[in-house]
């Protein structure tokens, strides 16, 4: 039996559809392989981050133990005792709120170390040194101050106009009941 012209056209259409399907299957396989590679990369990064956090915690505990034994000097030992007794916090020490002599000595020591790093970087990279001088702590960049609207919660989606909302949020915690405090207990928003 001979094929009719309509059968040949139908066979050609089926052949082209099968070829397109094979190409799509190949493309899908490539995408799935890419997804698997991304999953593996993400998992490796997660493991590295967790290992880094664990190492940081171990280093911090070791440094605190050394401080308790006086291996970092008397002032650091006193500061560690005050931290252990919850008489101060690292936030208070580093912000300058803690004015105890042990905290002042710690900040001074950190400042000396930071200055040594800056001096070393300045020698190694004069271009970096010039940028530091231009934008460093002795020459802060002045930004124009924008008025703050206490009625707007900047963490609320759309609060800063990203979605076209113009109405400020209303209700508790949005300026109508006094100053807003961040979740970590820091200063006033």
CA separation for the pair 129, 107 (Å, rounded): 23
Share of the chain above pLDDT 90, in %: 59
Question: Which residues, 6 or more positions from 73, have their beta carbon under 8 angstroms from its beta carbon?
Answer: none
What b/e sequence results for 97-124 when a residue is b if at least 16 CB atoms lie within 10 Å of its CB, and e otherwise?
ebebebbebbeeeeeeeeeeeeeeeeee
Report pLDDT for 133.
83
Report pLDDT for 140.
67
Report pLDDT for 176.
44
162 or 111, higher pLDDT: 111
Residue 187 confidence class, pLDDT cut points 50, 70, 90: very low
Report pLDDT for 2.
58
Report pLDDT for 148.
53
For the residues 37-60, what does the mean pLDDT come to? 94
Report pLDDT for 186.
43
For the residues 7-29, what does the mean pLDDT come to? 92
Assessment of whether the complete model's pTM goes beyond 0.75: no
Report pLDDT for 145.
66
Report pLDDT for 157.
55
State how far the alpha carbon of 107 is from the alpha carbons of 43, 68, 70, 100, 178, in Å: 38, 18, 17, 11, 34
176 or 134, higher pLDDT: 134
For residue 66, which of 53, 79, 52 has the smallest C-alpha distance? 79
């Amino acid at each position: 039996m001979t094929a009719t012209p309509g059968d040949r056209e139908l066979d050609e259409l089926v052949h082209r559809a099968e070829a397109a399907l094979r190409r799509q299957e190949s493309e899908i396989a490539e995408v799935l392989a890419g997804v698997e590679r991304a999953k593996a990369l993400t998992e490796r990064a997660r493991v590295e981050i967790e290992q880094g956090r664990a190492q940081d915690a171990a280093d911090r505990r070791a440094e605190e133990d050394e401080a308790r034994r006086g291996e970092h000097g008397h002032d650091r030992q006193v500061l560690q005792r005050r931290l252990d007794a919850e008489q101060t916090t690292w936030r208070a020490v580093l912000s300058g709120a803690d004015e105890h002599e042990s905290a002042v000595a710690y900040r001074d020591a950190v400042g000396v170390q930071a200055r040594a790093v800056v001096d070393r970087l300045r020698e190694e990279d004069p271009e970096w040194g010039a940028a530091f001088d231009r934008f460093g702590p002795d020459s802060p960049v002045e930004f124009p101050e924008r008025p703050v609207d206490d009625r707007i919660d900047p963490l609320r989606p759309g609060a800063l106009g990203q979605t076209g909302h113009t109405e400020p949020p209303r209700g508790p915690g949005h300026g109508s009941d006094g100053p807003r405090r961040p979740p970590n207990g820091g200063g006033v928003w």
